[in-house]
Amino acid sequence: MTDSCSSHVVNTRPNPAPCRPQDRGKFEILQKDGSARIGRLHTNHGMLNTPMLLPVVNPNIRTIEPREMWEKYRVDGLITNSYVIWKHDDLSKSALENGVHELINFPGVIVTDSGTFQSYVYGDVEVGVEEIINFQRDIGVDIGTMLDVFGRPEMSREEIESAVEITADRAPISLDLAGDDLLLNGPIQGGLHDDLRALAGKLMGEVNSTNGGFTIHPIGGIVPLMENQRYKDLFRILLSAKSTLPPDRPIHLFGCGHPLLFPMSIALGVDIFDSAAYALFARGNRLLTPTGTVRLDEITEWPCNSSELFNWTPEEVRSLDSKEREKVLARHNLEVTQSELARCRESIRNGKIWQLAEERSHSSAQLREAFLWVLDQLEDPDDGPVGVSSLRMISSTNPVRKGGENLVEDIDDRPHILHFKSLLALRWRIPGSWWNGSLSDPKRIIIIEGACPPWRDSSLHTVVSLLEEIPESIIFISTPIGLIPYSLEDVSPWSHIDGSDEIWDSPLDEDDILDELIEFDLSDIPFIRVTPGPVSEVEERRIGSIYDWIDRCSIVDKLSVLNGLSPSLGCKLTSGMTSRKSKTRRMVNVYSDGSHIFSPRLNDGGISLTLNGAKIINELSPGKPIHFGVDYDGDELDHPGIAKVMIVDDAIPFVGQGKNVMQGYVLGADPHLIPGQPCLVVDSNGELVAHGIPMTTAREMAFLTKGIAVRVRDGALKNKNN
């Protein structure tokens, strides 16, 4: 078999369109899953669709032609080294005459590094801070890099402090020289010191010139850590730097490109990777796989396939001459890299990036150690920069999501589960009144166990008879991931945990139940454990009021736990509520005085507002968020009300008619806003303009200037003024 067969490139991918001048350098967040984000960065040579990898291209050695990367592997951008081009007279001359895109023969985004890495490998470099910026600008680079000072892990604290300081001092000069045409990377140094990484993030994030600040923040000085598989240090550095970096800029892990590290890094908020691993490993006769690296001389069959390897057997590849073998392996490595990134992006879209990171953590002892360390940070965030990022990650994760989840060892510590549990502990309250109108204290707690979801089928009949017997009963369901109030029985993933039948037959021990009841502040009330019997016929007429009360509790509790409404407001909204039910007897529409106010979300157990519902809530809880940049000096409330987004006057006519709220048009947003959970859109007087689903956190809204901030479900000003 010849190389020409596999390297044949069909020229089908058109050159990229330049972005609109006003969008150049802007980063847009399209979708989020906790800290992970699908984004796009706009440049003169098209978009970087993130999370993505910039393959490293050495202008002197092209294992895979950059044009082939563009055409065949759909690589949007690559990284090469401006210092290497600058140092070689012929490369430098050609780049200055014809531009770097022609030199490299690549139509997409070209990012360049500055020579800092060479200074780490070889000692000093001859190029100056200003010279290297001027050169990158003059050869037409899309995103260049300033000359930062590489902070090695073994350096003293003083040396690292100096690396951070010198890098920050060079930043404004570099940004000024880059001018309008060259976007710049602002690397974050800081060695192994959390506080110095956070300081670097703040200093580099805040630098501004007449042309704006940095476009991307690469995390630097981490290659020696990755070489020694010090992944815990890597993630610690990432979380520390992220605590202060502006959320509207992509984060790049400098020199990281092994697919094994993608899911976890992305779950923690990395947008861009770069690496020569695809070529270097190929040169060493090694194959990349999503779970590690494999030596060509040790295999009989391919452990991980690619369109490239389908053409060959391992034996055939071994018998190729070294150049050809290198190309075959490099193509495979690039393909695996690209497909693992696609898998990560799809996992973000499906709300499953954490599960992917969890799965991959079992592929390497060092990665598993790092993953478990991250779980510790999430469970018990500290006061430092790592704790800040960990808390932000939990609170920005939508606590409910559609689809099932396998019951595995780490399920309890998934960020959405931790978020839901903390909301439950903070916001859930016992019912204000019981189905018979009684206002007395609860008399008992009932723990439903040994029953599997859907609990409305397996347990409702038992719940109803227990409530009939003693109305003042608080009902909980025992699930393999803890107790949940019966009113939240269809909240996913609780209602969709996948596992053998046995998982529903393993009751919690007494102490565990008590521990959980302490979380709910209910440990003083006696509890009994009940396993529902077979479903019996029940007399609807006699107990209709119990069903109605259970339905009402479900709406009040969901509004309170997921959306921050106080239970008393929830009670007001639902007094006299009626509902329309599906064939499976689930509420699909909720009415108040005949007006449709909510629709329970059947796929994840949350609540959707209607315009009427949004109007009533805004009337009953008027107010508006404070402006971005102004500190809130009131008390932290358990029930801060449904989250609101306040928009600029110019946007009101559009949003009021149902158009989306765009980033950059937001004046303020409540900090408890959760991407994926409903919000109200108000004007600066607090009047309702629309309601919808926020796409990003409030903090991101304060920074972003491109993309959708709130996907509007309905405008409140329709038919007004037109």
Name the DSSP class of 56: B
As a whole number of angstroms, the distance between CA 42 and CA 28 comes to 8
- Taking contact as CB under 6 A, which single stretch among the options 22-30, 108-116, 227-235, 595-603 is the one that binds ligand GUN? 108-116
Looking at the Cβ atoms of 116 and 458, the one nearer to ligand GUN is 116
Selected from 107, 144, 201, 255, the binder of ligand GUN by CB under 6 A is 255
Question: Using CB under 6 A, which of 35, 43, 92, 114 touches ligand GUN?
Answer: 114
92, 145, 174, 560: residue in contact with ligand GUN (rule CB under 6 A): 145
In the complex, least distance from residue 212 CB atom to ligand GUN, rounded to whole angstroms:
20
Beta carbon nearer to ligand GUN, 87 or 443? 87
Reduced to 3 states, what is the DSSP secondary structure of residue 533? coil
Phi first, then psi: give them for residue 464, nearest 5 degrees: -65, -45
Site string (205-234) toward ligand GUN, x via CB under 6 A: ---------------xx-x-----------
Does residue 201 belong to the site contacting ligand GUN (CB under 6 A)?
A: no
- Residue linked to tokens 């992944």: 231
Closest approach of ligand GUN to the CB of residue 520, in Å: 48
398 in contact with ligand GUN (CB under 6 A): no
Active site residue 180: no
CA distance 68 to 106: 9
Question: What phi and psi, each to the nearest 5 degrees, are found at residue 309?
Answer: -75, -20
x-marked contacts with ligand GUN along 629-658 as a string, rule CB under 6 A: ------------------------------
Distance CA 394, CA 322 (A): 49
Q: Applying CB under 6 A, does 116 fall inside the site for ligand GUN? A: yes
Minimum Å distance from CB 202 to ligand GUN?
A: 18
Token readout for 131 is: 């010279």
- Closest separation between CB of residue 720 and ligand GUN, Å? 54
Q: How many CA atoms lie within 13 A of 433 on its CB side?
A: 15
Smallest gap, in angstroms, from Cβ of residue 237 to ligand GUN? 11
106, 103, 120, 115: which is closest to 59 by C-alpha?
Answer: 103
Q: Kindly tell me which of 125 and 689 has the beta carbon lying closer to ligand GUN.
A: 125
The identity of residue 429, as a single letter, is: R
DSSP string, 635-691: PPPS---S-EEEE-GGGHHHHHTTPPEETTSEEEE-TT--TTS-EEEE-TT--EEEE
Length of the chain: 722
When the beta carbons of 61 and 630 are compared against ligand GUN, the nearer one is 61
Q: What is the dihedral of CA 132, 135, 140, 144, to 10 degrees?
A: 0
With residues binned 3-state (H G I as helix, E B as strand, rest as coil), the percentages for the chain, rounded to 5, are 40, 20, 40
Judged by beta carbon, residue 145 or residue 487, the one nearer ligand GUN is 145
Coil, helix or strand for 520? coil
Options 254, 486, 504, 520; binder of ligand GUN; rule CB under 6 A? 254
Binding of ligand GUN at residue 187 (CB under 6 A)? yes
150 contacts ligand GUN (rule: CB under 6 A)? yes
What is the smallest separation between the CB atom of 41 and ligand GUN, expressed in angstroms?
A: 18
Catalytic residue chosen out of the listed positions 33, 76, 113, 604:
113
Give the separation between CA 485 and CA 415, rounded to whole angstroms. Answer: 20
Count residues near ligand GUN (CB under 6 A): 13
Is 53 a binder of ligand GUN (CB under 6 A)? no
CB of 94 to ligand GUN, least distance (A): 23
CB of 167 to ligand GUN, least distance (A): 9
Cα 428 from Cα 485, distance rounded (Å): 9
Q: What is the rounded CA–CA span in Å between residue 47 and residue 69?
A: 15
Q: Give the binding range for ligand GUN (CB under 6 A) out of 43-51, 144-152, 516-524, 632-640.
A: 144-152
The yes or no reply on residue 700 touching ligand GUN (CB under 6 A) is no
Unique residue bearing structure tokens 């490293």 = 56
Please select the residue that binds ligand GUN; options are 28, 68, 76, 113, rule is CB under 6 A.
113
Least separation, in Å, of the C-beta of 363 and ligand GUN?
24
Q: Which is nearer to ligand GUN, 221 or 387 (CB)?
A: 221
- Give the distance from CA 624 to its chain's centroid: 27
Which of the stretches 142-150, 298-306, 384-392, 460-468 binds ligand GUN when contact is defined by CB under 6 A?
A: 142-150
Stretch (H or E) spanning 204:
helix 194-206
| CA angle, residues 556, 557, 559, in degrees to nearest 5 | 65
Q: Evaluate whether 42 touches 28 at the Cβ level (below 8 Å).
A: yes
Q: Which two tokens stand for residue 262?
A: 């993608």
Q: Give the nearest residue (CB) to ligand GUN.
A: 220
Interacting residues toward ligand GUN by CB under 6 A? 113-114, 116-117, 145, 148, 150, 187, 220-221, 223, 254-255
Active site residues: 113
